[in-house]
A and B are shown apart, each in its own frame.
Chain A
Amino acid sequence: MRRQLPILVVFISGIFMAIQYFVPSEPAEFVQEYAMDWVIVIGVFAMGLGLWSLTKVNWIKVQRQTPGWGYNLVTILGMVFMLVVGLIWDPGLGFFPGEKSQVSGTWFMNFFWYIYLPIQTVMFSLLAFYIASAAYRAFRARTILASILLVTAIVIMLRLIPLGAVSGINQWLANWILIVPNMAAKRAIWMGVGLGMVAMALKIVLGIERSYMGRD
């Protein structure tokens, strides 16, 4: 019974969700809305689990003072600080309803704008340096295929910058690359992925694939 019941639930809900996708009627939408609420409820628990897991993993490292434990401490402190600040100032959950945490000028948003945002943008900007270095080392016309890759990369790169009079020709070439060979490859990959997903979904719905239940 411990195994049959989950398989039965998955079978019924899987078949129903597949059918309702192709039957756009009011009852089907009602049940789908209901199912969405369930997913959100489960998701909220997953969020709590994530918070607990993050705290536990980092706290163990802080306690054992493993190399780099200072970073783990910063992670915990940062998380607790943002939670406290966000909860105190949040209009829905906060202790001071009426204040709005996610509008400019509040502590929460100041930390977002002046700490989080620069960190993220700097991390992303560093990519430019790494990509330049990697492109210099990797793009060598050693074989015909490598040469094709090299030329394609340059054409696509040039597409992203204004080139004045030459722009039109380069754009035409870049569009051809994107719309013909790129699209052919992408479609083939996506169709393969799609068929694989359908096969996997069928295996789960029919009870052939049971790894989601943990160890048998």
Chain B
Amino acid sequence: MGFYEKLMSLDRRWVYLCVAIAVVLPFLLEEFGVPIFIPPYITPEVKSVYNFVEKLREDDVLFLAIDYDPMAKAELHPVARAVLKQCFKKNVKVIISALSQNGPGMAEQLISQTAKEYNKVDGVDYVYLGYKPFPALVIMGMSQNFKLFFPKDYYGTPLDSLPMMAKVRNIKDTKGVIDVAAGSVADMWINEGAGRYNYPLALAVTGVMAADYYPFLNSGQLFGLVSGMKGAAEYEYLMEKGGYMKKEEFDASRGMPIQMFAHIVVILFIIIGNVGYFMSRRKKS
């Protein structure tokens, strides 16, 4: 086998090794005091979500849907955290649900940690509804009346007794919805929620899902779209510029070098494979 043929048929273990090095290297560089930070290019769809929250006033209510499992935590947790921080800092009240079956505990930890950071009180500054099965029905139910599916909050407190819920009957009484989702729940928010009950909706989805939602962005059914860790890094960058976050608090931005190195390795391997293919074809002809 010639050199170019070898380039075309490298053992997959070499690919795995290179990806592993690409993933570990940024960690090591950071450990040795060489952090890599390249300011992200801010896309209009992320800026639109940031500006929406930015325009909210004190005591306005935002609905944050945390609809992802632990497997999407690395990509989506940073944006959920960033939105919560922005709201809490601006004294915007937040109602949160978690309609992914493995997500409620993870969401609870995020909410309680962030609330503690900003001295926010459960039931007064935020309400965590938790999980109920059949997301499409729950979304329709919450769009009519929160108490239909959540007579009590996640901690077992009746919604009627929560001061924050006194003036809020359903999602239409909030300023809008930001859904952080990995999976088909995002479609349900578009079809059964915003599409039917007509409230502003933005999505934060994993990188691979983003392409599916650009048509909705273009048609105006979504007012913003945060895609994957890159989108979260953009949001964090905007948060830093707006004075809501310090660089040390960055989460997605710290993951970006890893994503960057891994993507570059994948692209390099694609190039290597194609160089091998073209050169061996030229040699044969």
Are the CB atoms of A40 and B137 closer together than 8 Å? yes
B-contacting residues, A154-176, CB 8 Å: 154, 156-164, 167-168, 171, 175
Indicate if the CB atoms of B230 and A141 lie closer than 8 Å: no
User: Per a CB cutoff under 8 Å, which of A102, A104, A121, A142 touches B73?
Assistant: A121
Give chain B nearest CB distance to A204 CB in angstroms. 18
Contact B71 A123 (CB under 8 A): yes
For B104, what are the chain A residues with a Cβ–Cβ distance below 8 Å? 102
The answer to whether the Cβ of A83 comes within 8 Å of any Cβ in the partner chain is: no
Establish whether residues B70 and A120, one from each chain, have CB atoms under 8 Å apart when the complex forms. yes
Interface hit among A56-64, A65-73, A180-188 = A180-188
| Interface check A139, CB cutoff 8 A | yes
**Hey, which chain A residues are within 8 Å of B71, CB to CB?**
120-121, 123-124
CA distance A104 to B106 in the complex (A): 9
- A67 → chain B, closest Cβ, in Å? 27
For residue B263, give the distance in angstroms from its CB to the closest CB of chain A: 5
B162 close to A (CB within 8 Å): no
Q: Report whether B141 and A167 are in contact in the complex, using a CB–CB cutoff of 8 Å.
A: no
CB–CB A137/B148 < 8 A: no
Q: In the assembled complex, how far is the CB of residue A59 from the closest CB belonging to chain B, in whole angstroms?
A: 24
Interface status of B33 (Cβ within 8 A of chain A): no
Highest count of chain B CB atoms <10 Å: which of A91, A103, A108, A129: A129
Q: Are B43 and A186 in contact (CB under 8 A)?
A: no
Give the size range of B's interface with the partner.
35 or more
Q: With A and B bound together, what is the CA distance between A142 and B108 in angstroms?
A: 50
A32 within 8 A of B: yes
- Stretch of B15-23, B81-89, B239-247 contacting A (4+ beta carbons < 8 Å): B15-23
Q: Which of these, A113, A154, A160, contacts B270 with CB under 8 Å? A: A154
| Whole-angstrom distance between the Cβ of B228 and the nearest chain A Cβ | 6
Contact of A29 among B144, B228, B256, B273 (CB under 8 A): B144
CB distance from B65 to the nearest CB of A (A): 17
Residue of B nearest to A170 (CB): B41
Residues from chain B with Cβ under 8 Å of A109 in the complex? 105
Q: Is the CB of B133 within 8 A of A133?
A: no
Q: Chain A at the B interface: mostly helix, strand, loop or mixed? A: helix
A54 located at the interface, meaning its Cβ lies under 8 Å from any Cβ of chain B in the complex: no
B166 lies within 8 A of chain A by Cβ: no
Interface range for A? 35 or more
Please determine whether A32 and B140 come into contact, CB atoms closer than 8 angstroms.
yes
Q: Contact at B267–A168, with CB atoms within 8 Å?
A: no
Chain A's nearest CB lies how many Å from the CB of B55?
24
- Report A-chain residues with C-beta under 8 Å of the C-beta of B196: 21
Contact residue among B73, B133, B256, B273 (Cβ-Cβ distance under 8 Å from A140): B273
- B41 in contact with A104 (CB, 8 Å): no
Q: How far in angstroms is the closest Cβ of chain A from B153?
A: 11
Cα(A40)–Cα(B132), bound, Å: 10
Q: Which among B109, B112, B256 has the greatest number of chain A C-beta atoms within 10 A?
A: B109
B70 near A128 with CB under 8 A, answer no
Q: Which residues of chain B in 10-48 are interfacial with respect to chain A, using CB atoms and an 8 Å cutoff? A: 10, 12, 15-16, 18-20, 23, 38-41, 43
Additional 12 contacts, C-beta under 8 A, given A161-B256, A162-B260: A36-B141, A102-B130, A104-B108, A116-B102, A124-B72, A129-B16, A139-B274, A158-B267, A171-B41, A179-B218, A182-B214, A186-B214
User: Which are the 8 A-B pairs with shortest beta-carbon distances?
Assistant: A167-B41, A124-B71, A136-B269, A162-B38, A161-B260, A117-B70, A120-B71, A178-B214
Some 10 contacts from A to B, beta carbons below 8 A apart, are A36-B140, A120-B71, A135-B266, A136-B10, A157-B263, A161-B259, A161-B263, A163-B41, A178-B210, A186-B212
